Amino acid sequence: MNYTQNQRISQITESTLIVGVDIAKHKHVARAQNDRGLMYGKAFSFPSTRQGFEAFCHWMKHLMTEHEKTQLLVGMEPTGHYWMTLAAFLRSRSIPVVVVNPMHV
């Protein structure tokens, strides 16, 4: 879906946990932050497998509880085709996914 810049910005509120994922062939790395850019915890590495994706979801849920967040937004770069499996997995669990063009960051 094509959002305007204001529509994209309005998706992020004080109650949003923002997670960025660095996509790779075998292992992905995620970082979480709040709406002001404050990082939460350490980077989380997980394999590109169903078990890795489940662990990633558990990690995000833990951070949401720990930091009292009620909304979640996951952003990732469309690296080759490696991002598609994770994006489909997250969307199947109703987790919002944003594909970020690195040229716009």
Please indicate, yes or no, if residue 1 is contained in any of the structural domains: no
Q: What are 1-35's pLDDT values in tens digits?
A: 566 666 666 778 899 999 999 999 999 999 999 99
- Structural domains of the chain, count: 1
Closest to 94 (Cα-Cα) out of 45, 69, 55, 57: 57
Greater model confidence, 87 or 105:
87
CATH at 90: 3.30.420.40
Q: What are 38-68's pLDDT values in tens digits?
A: 999 999 999 999 999 999 999 999 999 999 9
Please indicate, yes or no, if residue 5 is contained in any of the structural domains: no
How many whole angstroms separate alpha carbon 67 and alpha carbon 17? 8
Write down the pLDDT at residue 12. 86
Greater model confidence, 95 or 9:
95
Please indicate, yes or no, if residue 72 is contained in any of the structural domains: yes
Please indicate, yes or no, if residue 8 is contained in any of the structural domains: no
